Structures are given as C-alpha cells and as structure tokens.
Amino acid sequence: MSLENYETVAERLARWLDMEHNGQPRVITHLVSQPGSDICVFRAELWVDSTLISTGWAEEVRGQGNVNKTSHLENCESSSLGRALANAGLAGSDPAKRPSREEMAKVERGASTSGTPFTGTKTITNKMKGKCIHCGGTVDVGQGIATNDGSGWKTSHLDEQCPPEPF
Ligand SMILES: [Zn+2]
C-alpha cells in the first residue's frame, strides 16, 4: 500500500471549495474532547450558506505514531475534515481510495479509524521473531509490529524506529 495513492485532506478540501455551490461554502471544525487531554475528538462540518452539507468525526490519541507526538490536534482536525469531505461525496471514484491519506497513515500506525470499516492493511504487535523490512535488523517477539496488506505478514520495528547503525 502506498500512501501516495491517497488524496490528502488539503487536496480534497481544495476540490470541494472549487466546486459549483449554490452559495458560500465554508468549513467549521469543533474540538469535542477536553482541550489538553490525550484523546482528541474533532467534529468537522461543511456548510453552504445556512445548509449543513455533511459532518465528519475523528479521534486521535496523543503519542500514537510519530505524527501524533507533536501534532495530534492538527492531525485529528484534518482527519475529521477528510471524513466530512468524503461524506459530501468527495471521495473519488475508486471506493478503495475513499479514505484520505491521513486516514490511511493512521491505519498504518495501527489505530482504528472510527466509523470507517476498513479491510485493507492489518497491523498487530509481532508475535514471532522476524527481520525488520526497513533496517534488516532482528525484531524480537513483541518488540515491533507485523503488518499484512494481503500479501503476507511483514515485520518491522515500532513506528519505523529502527536502531541506529552500529559504528
Ligand atoms: Zn528496523
């Protein structure tokens, strides 16, 4: 699975704003969870004038995956917007590519995507000792992740945090 094949939320948003609308399109996002908490829940709304076109929800956990160590709020907001845009029909013609790139990155991080049944890549803690697909090093049981995109299980270090090369 390549994330490049998935549209980013920014691209999807630009596409929506460029469409013909019977009024002024606008986007409203709400932080639904407690500010500062480790779990972030965002709700995004797409409006055209005073008509609510669609809503989207997203949840992110602080520290889950590299992107969420520094920007879980922003990431959560983008994901909710991506969902709202998908719900407004902006998902592209290929149903397999309905999730935004941000959502697919989340699937790769091993988090669940709320409200989106997804049967693509499966990521679990590795139950067998294996060789890291990134650095070639050994991943002991439970020390990394095993990912299966339908072509078999691949083992890698957690969040691609491979140990530095020994000198
Ligand atoms: Zn590695």
pLDDT tens digit sequence for 118-152: 456 777 888 888 899 888 889 888 888 888 877 77
Structure confidence at residue 70 (pLDDT): 66
What pLDDT shows up at residue 166? 59
17-42 pLDDT, tens digit per residue, is 999 999 999 999 999 988 888 888 99
List phi, psi (to 5°) of 30: -120, 135
DSSP labels, 50-76: TEEEEEEEEEEETTSSHHHHHHHHHHH
- Tell how far the Cα of 159 is from the centroid of ligand 1, in angstroms: 9
pLDDT at 45: 95
pLDDT of 92 reads: 58
| 8 CA distance to ligand 1 middle (Å) | 27
Centre of ligand 1 to C-alpha 145, Å, is 10
Q: Report how far residue 33's alpha carbon sits from residue 10's, in angstroms, rounded to the nearest whole number.
A: 23
What is the three-state SS of 3-40? HHHCCCHHHHHHHHHHCCCCCCEEEEEEECCCCCCCEE
pLDDT at 2 over 80: no
Domain boundaries, the chain: 3-112, 122-160
pTM value?
Answer: 0.55
Q: What is the mean pLDDT of residues 72-99?
A: 80
pLDDT of residue 110: 64
Burial-class residue 114 by CB neighbours within 10 Å (0-12, 13-18, 19+): middle
